[in-house]
Chain A
Amino acid sequence: MLDEFETLFIQHFNDNARSLAYYLEKMQGYTASKKALAMPQDEVISEVKKSNLRGRGGAGFPTGMKWGFIPKNSTKPKYLVCNADESEPGTFKDRDIMRYTPHLLIDGMVIGAHAIGANTGYIYIRGEYTREAKLLQVAIDEAYSKGYLGKNIQGSKFDFDLTVHRGAGAYICGEETGLLNSLEGKRGEPRVKPPFPAQSGAFGGPTIVNNVETLAGIPYIINRGGEWFSKLGKIEKSGGTRLFCVSGHVKKPGVYELPAGSVTLRQLVYGTCGGILGDKKLKAVIPGGSSAPVLTADEIDVIVDIEPLMKIGTMLGSAGIIVVSEDYCIVKLIRRITRFYEHESCGQCTPCREGCRWMEDILDRIERGKGREQDLALLLEVADNMSGKTLCALGDAAAGPVISFVKKFRADFEAHIRGAKCPNV
């Protein structure tokens, strides 16, 4: 099925890899930023464009193109911000990059900063990752002490200061403008767009926000070429390898690295992850973090990448794949997912603030056996009244799963309503 390939990240996911010495010795450490700093900015951006690297945070936006949005003639300070909020349930790959290969991320950030002309960068890391924040700080201190960060980096006359900024428990800070507000010391409420961060982001300056995995791939692109990176991907428009986070009812949950577009969901679940826990039957797969619409067991012969999943009405998102076996209550599951979005809704826009709670209340009733016949229609309408109508994507993140669960597992909901209890438990 898969040819052997050299993983970019996973082979280094061990406790010895995080030191500067390891990075220099085993990973051509900081040669990429040295090389990039000698290249004109446009050339760096065009190399990244060639690589077909698409954002790994969830939206899948082409990274090179994003960098190209930074206005060249702006006199305001520019910022590069690494989104290390990793808050989408089912996602846990960035944590591994930060704790095992922090220098790879720093290297990538120096390159990105140079490409967009930013002298200041922040790694916005979710507050719970206290250990990872400390490890990053150690790596940053090391990099400063050896001239890989700070003033006149590697003799290039390019200055770049990098600061770890800790979040404090808010999913919405994974949304880039919510993140920027949080970085500025405000409530992490998403901003109205436009203006987009590339025009006016952190502290009013042109800003690029990139995910950890995205930035950590950059040194490879510079050292080995955009074309090489692009060819790692086995599907059009998606370069590189991808980190898949598999959790739930599989025998071997964890982070897996595979060439982009190289496997189907079935291969991933039954091959890579060793199948369903207890050899039970598969009930459902959520393919892209809990905000992705759910797939049934019949829908998993699909390539796990952006376009193929989009075609069947769901999304790859942050590649957080949650596997559910036959004996888990589907209603309980979606109620729990909805509760999460209700808990994390920032509350500023009407449909999300009111809709999330309403959906949760209805689902809660259904799960407790107090559902009514008309509840499913109501649930779908409430979800529809949120979809695409909220200020940021959280409304869709909450509504999408509800719609998909009700449509695909209607019988389970009806059994709860009519039988006043769960048929599976």
Chain B
Amino acid sequence: MSKCIIDGREVEFTPGQNLIEVAKKAGIDIPFFCYHPGLSVVAQCRMCAVEIEKMPKLQTACSTVAAEGMVVKTKSPRTAQNQKAVMEFLLINHPLDCPICDKSGECDLQDNSYRHGDLYSRYTEERRTYLDLDMGPVIQKNMNRCIHCTRCIRFGDEIAGIREMVALQRGNNTQISTVDGRALETDYAGNYADICPTGSLTVKDFRFKKRVWFLKKTSTVCEGCSRGCNMEIHQDANVIYRCIPRENMQINKYWLCDEGRFNFQYVNDENRVVAPMVNHSVSDWGLSIDQAKKVLMGKKIAVLVGSDLTQEEGSHLLEFLPKHFPGSPIFHFGTPGLNTAEKDGDADRILKRKSKTSNLHGLEKLGFQGFDKMPKEINAVLVIRGGRAILPDLKGLVAVGLGVFMAPQVEEFSVILPGTSFAEKDGTIVNYEGQAQRIRRAILPPGQCKGLSEVLMMWVNSKSSSGAA
């Protein structure tokens, strides 16, 4: 192992690593703005400049590869003076509107200003201001807050594969923008806000909704497709405000697609059925289960299981269904036209997979068969799902639903037993590569929604008999 010396400590490194990464491993934070481990190195912000012995000028840590015996000083007076100077330069034209900025509290500019900046400003000239053009539905831009780090430009170019965010004009007038107010085209636009080190790019959906320091964070996995991107759910008072990507170098690196990012919205949707329903009327759990059994009584039933359910839920159903619905065929469903894991594949060159549910591969491993079309003799269905699996055409058959449903989807259903979404339960899902990952409960189920095992228990304990013919 090669070694260098940072702030008087011997630190090991892998050849090729830059000084920011080497220092970070040793618990030493070198401040930076433009550097991002997932993007190319441009050394533009100059915040990470450090003193290196035998070099006359300060060197940017992001662009300096550690070398054997290199002696680096990240806290020397010269280093600190440069950090102070860069902070001053970055703030002279910044509006300092932290009180109304959504980034406040998780802002690199704010944090580094606090740690490395000066207490007062010497700037008395007029601040530079811009007029912003719209950039489409996902991202809100505020160019006045921009510090020209170009992370967004590089993200578009290098990760999203589209150079839609660009630097226009030059020098002090440089404006980072799309052209002529064009909407962002990428399906990964939310990442622009994540990587923005200031409040220049924020997510419109989250705008003015919540101060970030009130948010409680739960580490979980996206249920949007079979990739299994790691993410955090941020909630307060049992309301989810947003999801952001969580680093996992094997799966999603630092990124998350917009579909996955905003998938949580159905959890809070006002149309979500959150109380047991019998023929469109709110009922209570006992009566509803009785009614469900009654409706299914004597029918030829098919059971449709959403591939958005967890392995635990799947295993439980594999025990429960043969006992209580003997002889009924059981199918998994989730993405129209894609009924086996074999048909799954990449939907783009970034993260998205064709399977629109998270656990297709897991349920298949458990032995579930994919739904193709309804067997002829069937005249009733029991649909069990999370919130994500897309319902096949039930052709007006008698239907009972267990899980998460939006009211307009289930007008034909006789009984709805409201269940839990991915955000309201713990469990395991298996991604397309066979990797099992935990999803975690971030909030309590709304209304009278109940977890699957509890509902199955009530079903077993209910006095009416099961309805299978």
Complex A–B touching at CB under 8 A: yes
Cβ of A27 under 8 Å from chain B: no
Contact flags A346-384 to B (C-beta < 8 A → 1, else 0): 111111011111100110000000000000001000000
For A356, list chain B residues within 8 Å (CB): 171-172
Tell me, in angstroms, the Cα distance from A361 to B46 when the chains sit together: 22
Tell me how far the C-beta of A197 lies from the nearest C-beta in chain B, rounded to whole angstroms.
16
When the two chains form their complex, are residues B41 and A192 in contact, meaning their CB atoms are under 8 A apart? yes
Known: A347-B148, A351-B85, A358-B92. A389 touches B174 (CB 8 A): no
Q: Does A127 contact B (CB under 8 A)?
A: no
> B43–A361 contact, CB under 8 A?
no
Q: How far is the CB of B43 from chain A (nearest CB, A)?
A: 4
Q: Within 8 Å CB of A391, what residues of B? A: 43-44, 46
A384, closest chain B residue (CB)? B85
Any chain B CB within 8 A of the CB of A187? Answer: yes
Residue of B nearest to A191 (CB): B42
Q: Is the CB–CB distance between B44 and A348 below 8 Å?
A: yes
CB of A343 within 8 A of chain B? yes
Cβ-based interface call for A385 (8 A): yes
Q: Is the CB of A389 within 8 A of B172?
A: no
Would you give the 0/1 interface string for B144-172, flagging 1 where the beta carbon is closer than 8 Å to chain A? 00011010000000000000000101111
- Closest residue on chain A to residue B123 by CB atoms: A358
Question: Quick one: which of B16-67 are within 8 Å of A by CB?
Answer: 41-47, 49, 56-58, 60, 63
CB distance from A189 to the nearest CB of B (A): 8
Please report the C-alpha to C-alpha distance between residue A12 and residue B414 in the assembled complex, in whole angstroms. Answer: 99
- Max chain B CB contacts within 10 Å: which of A358, A378, A389, A390? A389
A388 within 8 A of B: yes
Contact assessment for A342 and B172 in the assembled complex, using a CB-CB cutoff below 8 Å: yes
Chain B residues near A378 (CB-CB < 8 A): 122
User: In terms of DSSP, what is the predominant structure of the interface of chain A?
Assistant: helix
Q: Is the Cβ of B147 less than 8 Å from the Cβ of A350? A: yes
Q: A345-B171, A350-B90 are in contact. Are A389 and B150 (CB under 8 A)?
A: no
Counting CB contacts under 8 A, is B102 at the interface? no
Cα–Cα distance between A350 and B82 once the two chains are bound (Å): 11
Task: Report if B173 contacts A (CB, 8 A).
Answer: yes
Q: CA of A376 to CA of B92 in the docked complex: distance in angstroms?
A: 18
Main secondary structure of the interface of B (DSSP, over half): loop
Q: Are A348 and B148 in contact (CB under 8 A)?
A: yes
Encoded as 1 (CB less than 8 Å from any A CB) or 0, chain B from 90 to 126 comes to: 1011000000000000000000000000000011010
The answer to the question of B86 belonging to the interface, with a C-beta cut-off of 8 Å to chain A, is yes
Q: Which of A187, A349, A351, A354 has the most CB of B within 10 A?
A: A354
Q: Does A257 contact B (CB under 8 A)?
A: no
Contact between chains at B93 and A349 (CB < 8 Å): no
A151, chain B: closest CB distance, angstroms: 37
- Quick one: which of A353, A356, A357, A385 has the most chain B CB within 10 A? A353
- Asked if B45 and A350 make an inter-chain contact with CB atoms under 8 angstroms apart, the answer reads yes
Which among B49, B90, B122, B170 is the interface contact of A389 at CB below 8 angstroms?
Answer: B49
Q: How far is the CA of A342 from the CA of B169 in the complex (A)?
A: 13
Interface residues on A, range: 20 to 34
Chain A CB within 8 A of B88 CB: yes
B214 at the interface (CB under 8 A from A): no
> How long is the Cα–Cα vector from A345 to B128 in the complex, in angstroms?
16
Whether B58 and A358, one on each chain, are in contact in the complex, defined by CB atoms closer than 8 angstroms, is no
Nearest A residue (CB) for B126: A361
CA distance A329 to B447 in the complex (A): 78
CB nearest to A360 among chain B residues: B172
The answer to whether B89 and A348 have CB atoms under 8 Å apart is no
Give Cα A390–Cα B89 distance, bound, in whole angstroms.
12
Instruction: Decide: A390 and B171 in contact? CB cutoff 8 A.
Output: no
Question: Is the CB of A412 closer than 8 A to any CB of chain B?
Answer: no
**Minimum C-beta distance from A362 to chain B (A):** 8
Q: Is the CB of B170 within 8 A of A346?
A: yes
With A and B bound together, what is the CA distance between A389 and B47 in angstroms?
Answer: 10
B45, A349: Cβ atoms closer than 8 Å: yes
The answer to whether the Cβ of A47 comes within 8 Å of any Cβ in the partner chain is no
Q: How far is the CA of A385 from the CA of B93 in the complex (A)?
A: 17
Chain B residue nearest to A374 (CB atoms) is B122
Q: Judge whether A358 and B125 touch: CB under 8 Å.
A: yes
Report the Cα distance A108→B335, complex, angstroms.
Answer: 67
Closest partner residue, chain B, to A355 (CB atom): B89
- What's the Cα separation between A192 and B148 when bound, in Å? 16
The smallest beta-carbon distance between A308 and chain B, in angstroms, is: 21
* Beta-carbon contact of A192 and B42 below 8 Å: yes
Judge if A344 is at the interface, Cβ distance under 8 Å.
Answer: yes
**A353 with B125: in contact, given A192-B63, A348-B44 (CB under 8 Å)?**
no
Which B residues from 339 to 380 make CB contacts under 8 A with A?
none
CB proximity of B134 to chain A, nearest CB, Å: 24
- Chain A residue contacts of B150, Cβ below 8 A: 348
Nearest chain A residue, comparing its CB with the CB of B168:
A187
Q: CA A385 – CA B170 in complex, angstroms?
A: 21
Contact of B85 among A345, A349, A385 (CB under 8 A): A385
**Which 9 A-B residue pairings sit nearest by Cβ, starting from the closest?**
A385-B85, A354-B89, A347-B174, A345-B171, A347-B171, A357-B172, A361-B125, A192-B43, A348-B44
Can you report 28 residue pairs joining A to B where beta carbons are below 8 Å apart? A187-B170, A192-B42, A192-B60, A342-B172, A343-B171, A345-B170, A346-B170, A347-B167, A347-B174, A348-B42, A348-B150, A348-B167, A349-B46, A350-B44, A350-B86, A351-B46, A351-B86, A351-B89, A353-B171, A353-B172, A354-B93, A357-B171, A357-B172, A361-B125, A385-B81, A389-B57, A389-B82, A390-B46
Q: Chain A residues in contact with chain B, CB under 8 A?
A: 170, 187, 192, 342-351, 353-358, 361-362, 378, 385, 388-391
Residues of B within 8 A of A (CB): 41-47, 49, 56-58, 60, 63, 81-82, 85-86, 88-90, 92-93, 122-123, 125, 128, 147-148, 150, 167, 169-174
